[in-house]
A = this chain, B = another copy of it.
Amino acid sequence: MQGKILIVDPIATNRIMLKVKLASAFFGVLQAGTLAEALEITRSQGPDLIISAMDLPDGSAADLCRRLSDRPRGGPVAVLALAGENDRTTRMAALEAGVQDVLVRPFDETLLLSRVRSLIRAFNAEADLRFRDDADRALGFAEPEMPFGPQGDFVLVGQDSARLQRWSIALRPLLGGRVRLAGGSDVMSERVIATAPDVFVLVIDGTVVRPEDNLRLISALRATARTRHAGILVLQTVADAALAASALDLGADDLMTDGFDAGELALRLRTLLRRKRMTENLRHTIRSGLRAASLDPLTSLYNRRYAMPHLTKLADQAQGAGRPLAVMVCDLDHFKRINDLFGHASGDAALVQVADRLRGALRPADLAARIGGEEFMIVMPGLTLPEARQAAGRLCNLIGSRPFDLPGSATPVRITISIGMAMASIPPAVAEPGHARVSPQERGSRLMEEADRALYAAKVKGRNQVELGRPAA
C-alpha cells in the first residue's frame, strides 16, 4: 500500500470512481460523506492524505482544513480539494484555510496521482523528522513553536526577465521579504544560491523548446546542499499536465498551471515558506536534542555516555596515526566537605567553576567530560609524556592556586584536584605471540583503568598532585 487516503465526498459515485483510480495505484482508501465523518475517521484511522470535495453537506473543504488544524496535536495531514468549477474566490479561500491545492474536475489522472504522491512524500519526509513512533518522547521536550523566522528569500526563475521584473513588482508588497530574479541558466550560481533561498519559483513557458531543462533544474536544486530543503513551485504559463506531473515527481512542492496570479502565488509562497521554516525547526530540534544527549547539564562538559566511546575513538586514531595520547582522570579533593559546609548549591557552583577553568585551558582537539559526581576526564591527543606531565601539572595548579567564590561562603574557598594520568604507549605494547590484538574498546577502557589507579595513588600520596599510571601487567 502506497499510503492511506481518505476520500470525502457526499456523492457516492464520485467516491467510488476516485476510489477505483487510487486503489488501482495501490493506495488504501477510506471514505466519508460529511465533514463530521471525515473528522471522526481522521482521528481514528490517521490517513496520510485527505482528498475532499469542495462542498460538503456540513461545510466545505476549507472548513475541514480549519477543523483539522484545531486538533491539539495537529498532525501534518494534507488536504487536496476537488472543485466542480474553476472559481478563483473559492480556490483562494480554500488555500487560505490551508488546503494544499484545488483540482478542477475533470482532472488529469496522471497529474492527480503525481500530486498525491508528492503530498504523501512530503508527509512521510516530515514524519521522518518527527520520529512519529517516538513522537511523545522525542518531541515533547521541544515541540517547535509555530515559526516566525526571518522574512523569506524568494527567487523567480525564468527566461523572460522583463516579465519576471513585472511579476516581482506585483509580488513584493504581498510577500514581504526578498524577491529576486534569475535566468534558467544561472540559478545554481553562487550569486543566487549563496544565501540558501527559501523558495524557488520555476516559470515554465509553453514556448520553451526544451522544457526538460527546467525539470533538470528541479533535480539540481534537490541535490545541492544549500537548496535541497528549499521550497519549489512550478508555474506554467500554458497548462501541460504531463510536464506538471513530471515536475512533481522530480521533487517540486507546488504547482500553478493557470499562469501568473500575484495574489494566489503570494499565498502559495507563504505556505511553502511556513512549511520550510517548520521543517527547519524540526531539524533544529533534533540537533539540539542530540547535543543535549551528549552533554552534562550542570557543567556543559560532555557526559560519561558520550565520553567513553569518544575516548575509544581517539585512542584508536592515535594508534593508527602512531601518535601519543594522554588520558587524565581528575577528582576534586574533599568535595563532600564543600557540600556539607556551604550547601548543595555551593557544591554545584564549585563543579561549574572547576569545569570552566579546565575547559579554558584546553585545545579544541582535547576532550573534557564530567564522568562522575566530582570526577572529570581529559583526553589530550598528540602530547608526549613530558608535555602531558607539564599539562597535567598546569591543570592542577590552575585549580589549586586561586580560590573560588562560592554562594554560601563569605570568603573564597580553596579547592584542589588530584589527577591520575595514563599514556597510550607508542609503539603499542608488542603483542606476545599467541595473544590476540587488543580491540579499540579494550584499549580505551584499559587506559581509563590505568588513569583511575594512578588517581587513587595521587590521593593516597596527599592529593593536589599528578600521578602517572603504569599499564597493568
Task: Give 1 or 0 for each of A100-134: 1 = CB within 8 Å of chain B CB.
Answer: 00000000001001100110110011011001001
A320 CB → nearest B CB, Å = 5
Query: B228–A121 contact, CB under 8 A?
Result: yes
Is A26 an interface residue, CB under 8 A from the partner? yes
Query: B193–A120 contact, CB under 8 A?
Result: no
Query: B26–A138 contact, CB under 8 A?
Result: no
Query: A25–B114 contact, CB under 8 A?
Result: no
Query: A228–B320 contact, CB under 8 A?
Result: no
A240 CB → nearest B CB, Å = 14
Is A72 an interface residue, CB under 8 A from the partner? yes
Which chain B positions have C-beta within 8 A of A320?
A: 72
Partner among B110, B138, B143, B193 whose Cβ is within 8 Å of the Cβ of A290:
B138
Give the docked Cα–Cα distance between A225 and B47 (Å).
Answer: 13
Which chain B positions have C-beta within 8 A of A26?
A: 186, 188-190
**Which of A10-18, A302-310, A411-419 has 4 or more CB atoms under 8 Å from chain B?**
A302-310
Query: B249–A141 contact, CB under 8 A?
Result: no
Which chain B positions have C-beta within 8 A of A118?
A: 223
Is A352 an interface residue, CB under 8 A from the partner? no
Is A472 an interface residue, CB under 8 A from the partner? no
Is A178 an interface residue, CB under 8 A from the partner? no
Query: B309–A134 contact, CB under 8 A?
Result: no
CB-based nearest B residue for A319: B72
Give the docked Cα–Cα distance between A6 and B370 (Å).
Answer: 41
Query: B124–A306 contact, CB under 8 A?
Result: no
Partner among B127, B137, B216, B344 whose Cβ is within 8 Å of the Cβ of A294:
B137
- Complex interface residues of chain A between 55 and 107 (CB less than 8 A to chain B): 72-73
Query: B293–A290 contact, CB under 8 A?
Result: yes
Give the docked Cα–Cα distance between A93 and B302 (Å).
Answer: 43
Is A409 an interface residue, CB under 8 A from the partner? no
Give the docked Cα–Cα distance between A218 and B317 (Å).
Answer: 41
Is A362 an interface residue, CB under 8 A from the partner? no
Task: Determine which residue in A142, A215, A248, A306 has the highest number of CB atoms from chain B within 10 A of its CB, and name it.
Answer: A306
Give the docked Cα–Cα distance between A297 and B302 (Å).
Answer: 14
Query: A309–B224 contact, CB under 8 A?
Result: no
Which chain B positions have C-beta within 8 A of A293?
A: 141, 289-290, 292-293
Query: A124–B2 contact, CB under 8 A?
Result: no
Which chain B positions have C-beta within 8 A of A131?
A: 286-287, 290
A338 CB → nearest B CB, Å = 15
Question: Other CB < 8 Å A-B pairs besides A117-B223, A141-B305, A297-B305, 10 of them?
Answer: A3-B223, A26-B186, A72-B317, A72-B321, A120-B223, A131-B287, A140-B310, A141-B293, A286-B286, A289-B294
16 contacts between A and B (CB under 8 A): A1-B188, A117-B223, A120-B223, A124-B225, A125-B228, A134-B287, A137-B290, A137-B294, A137-B302, A138-B294, A140-B310, A218-B249, A219-B249, A289-B289, A289-B294, A344-B373
